[in-house]
Amino acid sequence: MVLYTTPFPSSCLSALHTVSWALIFPCYWLLDRLLALFIPDPCQKYQLLCIVLFTPIYLGFLVTSLPFAFLGFLVWLPLQSARRPYVYSRLEDKGPAGGAALLSEWKGTGPSKSFCFATANVCLLPDSLARLNNVFNTQARAKEIGQRIRNGASRPQIKIYIDSPTNTSISAASFSSLVSPQGSDGMARAIPGSIKRTASVEYKGNGGRHPSDEAANGPASSDPADCSSLEHACIVRISGDEGGRLPEADDPATGGQARNGAGGGPRGQTPNHSQRDGDSGSLGSPSASRESLVKAKAGLDGGSGDPGATYSKAPHKASVVKKAAARKRRHPDEAFDHEISAFFPANLDFLCLQEVFDKRAATKLKDQLHGYFEYILYDVGVYGCQGCYGCQSCCCCCQGRCSFKCLNSGLFFASRYPIMDVAYHCYTNGKGTDGLASKGALFLKVQVGSTLQDQRIVGYITCTHLHALEDDSAVRCEQLDMLQDWLADFRKSTSSSSTANPEELVAFDIVCGDLNFDNCSSDDKLEQQHSLFTRYKDPCRLGPGEEKPWAIGTLLDTDGLNDEDVSTPDNLQNKSPGACQKGRKDVLKGNGRRIDYMLYAEEGLCPDWKAEVEEFSFVTQLSGLTDHLPVAMRLMVSTGEEEA
């Protein structure tokens, strides 16, 4: 399948669209600023004065721009019938973390393979609408969100082993943010074993891999000292026969997550990852969880380097903090680890976002995430009254009625692995204000490996955003029905395999996104019992209306987003579950409304292969930037050969 790198099939149409939007944009921007003036902003001290001063100015320019906007609209509207439903962007990475290199790491035999997925509603609306959710400055937030995700995901996955007479087991493969050393080029380096430290903490590359590390991350590299691949976890071994002290830190009492050395680039950055604003210091930006970050100093000769030394004099600077897995909990009957994490998981492979409605914000977000993800789809959706232009298959024309779409779907997808096929469908039953956006489902087929017989190993990912109005359960159930039908058609149309001649092996099938209903509210009983949950498994759910005890709500209370006790990743992480989540009028069981889902299929995969959750995480790294908690899941795909 050919992926669309431009929104229009010809340069002439693209030029016409650019001109028409240039005529419309001043009116759009002025109207947005005018409406934003009348929505309270807690950070603005003189809002009344601003209203008095700027209202007549905005109104005057708005009236002046209306004739130009009308002319641009007459050109823009018919162009939408020829517009493609998404834009594909690839920033080629030929390094060891690039998509082409990743494909050669797994052949579908031997050790298992893990894949990490995350989904988040980031509320990147026009400013006037975003303010209704108590979040502000959409353009700046888009850049900050991209920085935090990129820096959180580019950390190494750390495995911690405890050597003691009574316990030699591994702490579960963690979303920990312990940072392995870097060279001056920003790439990972293995620390020679001769380096002395104040405690028995040993970083190992692939040469010191533990058997379970082999199983989780594939065969060892041919270079035993190579720890530069993001796919390979670095190991921290803590011996029980020594003092047990962690390396000296500036403030051990406030340990939490780790911090990159201030003088170098973020740990685990890909060759695409250039130094950008907000990359130094804390992971992501000055506002990203400063309270949880501590520095450790390690010199070349004994770990007692001069605090004023430059990074070039100490290229093996490391960061060590208290174990991030302290927040992890495992229920006695649970087969996987779960946690509330202040950072996005390390080695994140796939990212699905919702409510990336603003096109300028989407571009800023794309530019930031290309520092880690090679493949990105953005500006997904349709605009205008496409049903009025004779498109019989158009999903925006419902029962002969023309539905005008002002906003796109808000869906956004980023991947480290190559994208093979894409399909988008718009829900046909949108109502009210929700009907003004082309909410729908984005279906993707990605290649994650190939066998020795040149069979492709693929995975399916579906990203969606359902109807938002609380009382419209029937609308959401109808959309879930559409979702299942479209997904079945997508798999059938993109499959090049047959039972007799399997050209492809399916490793996973994921459905994720903002479904706008929870599993506890009595008003959502209809959605809770939908057949989607028989086909796909929810790691947080025991059954209809019953959550697992560790699951928490992902919809935050917008009134308290800027409160000090939840405005940083650490503070939100330490908040008692459910205390800052938004509830409903009826009695709500559990710890808040969990409306952001990550589902996976156990059936429909390659025969004898099995997908199991390895870790599940609620992420607080975007605190203060959105009114939702992102969720992440690490999925382990086991082959039949390994089980035998």
Residue in the structure block whose two tokens are 């060892």? 220
Non-local (6+) Cβ contacts of 516 within 8 A are: 465, 466, 467, 468, 476, 595
Sorted by sequence, the CB contacts under 8 Å of residue 441 that are 6+ apart come out as: 424, 425, 427, 462, 463, 464, 482, 483, 486, 487
- Per-position DSSP letters for 295-341, written without gaps between them: -B---TTSS---TT--GGG-TT--B--S-GGGG-B--TT-SSEEEEE
**Cβ(621)–Cβ(342) below 8 Å:** yes
| Rounded Cα distance, 396 and 415, in Å | 28
> Is residue 80 helix, strand or coil?
helix
Distance CA 136, CA 151 (A): 22
CB 610 within 8 A of CB 577: no
Q: Which of 545, 552, 555 is nearest to 595 (CA)?
A: 555
φ and ψ at 158, to 5 degrees? -105, 135
User: Residue 145 in contact with residue 121, Cβ under 8 Å?
Assistant: no
How many whole angstroms separate alpha carbon 26 and alpha carbon 60?
12
338 is an active site residue: no
Question: Is the Cβ–Cβ distance between 124 and 142 less than 8 Å?
Answer: yes
The SS3 assignment for 21 reads: helix
**In angstroms, rounded to a whole number, what is the distance separating the alpha carbons of residues 572 and 576?**
9
Catalytic positions, please? 628
